[in-house]
Amino acid sequence: MSTLHIIDHPLIVHKLSIMRNKKTGSKDFRELLNEIAMLMGYEITRDLPLEDIVIDTPLTKMTAKTVSGKKLAIVPILRAGLGMVEGLQRLVPVAKVGHIGLYRDPETHTPVEYYCKLPSDIENRIVILVDPMLATGGSAVDALTMLKARGCEHIRFMCLVAAPEGVKKVPEAHPDIDIYTAALDECLNEHAYIVPGLGDAGDRIFGTL
Ligand code: PRP
Ligand code: URA
């Protein structure tokens, strides 16, 4: 059963408010997005399994805990998901990174696939699928379908701002997937943009406004 996790830690809420402000430029927007991704990453990795290893401290031998065998993969949905990768990599430097390219058709607002390159052992990894915006949910649903078609069984979806439509649609298509978001906004407008939202995340990250 899918669970919606709203990670509304005061530091995340504060940083997100700066990002929402239209006066915030690309440099600050990018830095804040990566900072929030790192902070959210702390929560999204909370249930990673640990295993015992024996080590020597300077004083004695001990049985210590280490993150167990199952490795992580970070998979951004291009373009905007790229803005969250570095923050997560700071937390888990050994994670491999796959890419899924989807853009929304401006007329129909439905996603169009244009790229997919994933680690060869993706089916053995815990996958964090990232995209700052969950609007209609079409892009997330398609990306999750692509990952599952390649054998992924342990996936979680992380975004920054979600709309009610997206948080309804994803669990309908993928009831096994947990969603992590920093905020659940009010609605979508007639162009399927999130309101109040933060505008076009990809354009704000890459300065293509
Ligand atoms: C944005 C965003 C998501 C998608 C969300 O991407 O980054 O991928 O829209 O909308 P949905 O939930 O309605 O599918 P966009 O298509 O603008 O592409 P970009 O990241 O390349 O700018
Ligand atoms: N994509 C964005 O970048 N922003 C939105 O509000 C919706 C989709």
142 is catalytic: no
Q: How far is the CA of 61 from the centre of ligand 1 (A)?
A: 51
pTM here? 0.96
Strands 111-117 and 99-104: antiparallel
63 has catalytic annotation: no
Is 1 a residue whose pLDDT tops 90?
no
Dist. CA 90 → ligand 1 center (Å): 24
Active-site pick, 66, 108, 110, 208: 108
Decide if 104 is catalytic: yes
Confidence (pLDDT) at 209: 85
Average pLDDT, the chain: 96
Ligand 1 centroid from CA 104, angstroms: 6
The C-alpha angle with vertex 41 and arms to 98 and 29, in degrees rounded to 5, equals 85
* Catalytic site includes residue 185: no
Q: Tell me, what's the pLDDT at 69? A: 65
> What secondary structure letter does DSSP report for 113?
E
Distance CA 44, CA 127 (A): 11
Ligand nearest to the CA of 81: 1
Q: Kindly identify the ligand whose nearest atom is closest to the C-alpha of 199.
A: 2
State the Cα–Cα distance between residues 193 and 185, nearest whole angstrom.
Answer: 11
